[in-house]
């Protein structure tokens, strides 16, 4: 028996804002959408166009208040081929929340407070 990673899910408050952020900050694009017939939720799947792994954004109509992200130790990691260019973009966007120069990585934060680790392609 073999398992294969397919996607990670995160819940978001403003679906359009999140889709825009993930496109601008990480180049992830919408691969599919699903809207509940009663409008109670909507799913948007994002992909990088290179791997089969994606991120599922879930919007819930009746969700009130922000999501509890705990201590924010959970995160999604992405490798980038031009680390310096990505760092400049994220600095300009104002979304860098933690940098570890000794380890050669940094974290950005999405509109809902989720942390995303950015790693150079080669370390």
What is the value of pTM for the model shown? 0.91
Q: Give the start-to-end residue ranges of the domains of the chain.
A: 7-61+75-120
Query: Distance from first CA to last CA of the chain, Å, rounded?
Result: 32
pLDDT score at 123: 62
Angle between helices 83-93 and 15-26 (to 10 degrees): 140
pLDDT score at 71: 77
Q: Give the pLDDT means over successive 10-residue stretches in the chain (123 positions).
A: 90 97 98 97 97 96 89 87 97 97 96 95 77
Architecture of domain 7-61+75-120 in this structure: Roll (3.10)
pLDDT score at 122: 79
Give catalytic residue positions: 117
């Amino acid at each position: 028996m073999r398992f294969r990673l397919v996607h990670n899910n995160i819940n978001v408050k403003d679906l359009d804002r999140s889709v825009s952020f993930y496109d601008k900050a990480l180049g992830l694009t919408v691969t599919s959408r699903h809207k509940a017939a009663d409008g109670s939720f909507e799913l948007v799947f994002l992909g990088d166009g290179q791997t089969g792994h994606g991120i599922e954004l879930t919007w819930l109509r009746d969700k009130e208040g922000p999501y509890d992200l705990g201590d924010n130790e959970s995160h999604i990691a992405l490798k980038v081929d031009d680390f310096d260019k990505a760092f400049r973009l994220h600095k300009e966007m104002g979304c860098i929340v933690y940098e570890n120069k000794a380890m050669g990585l940094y974290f950005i934060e999405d509109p809902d407070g989720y942390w995303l680790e950015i790693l150079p392609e080669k370390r």
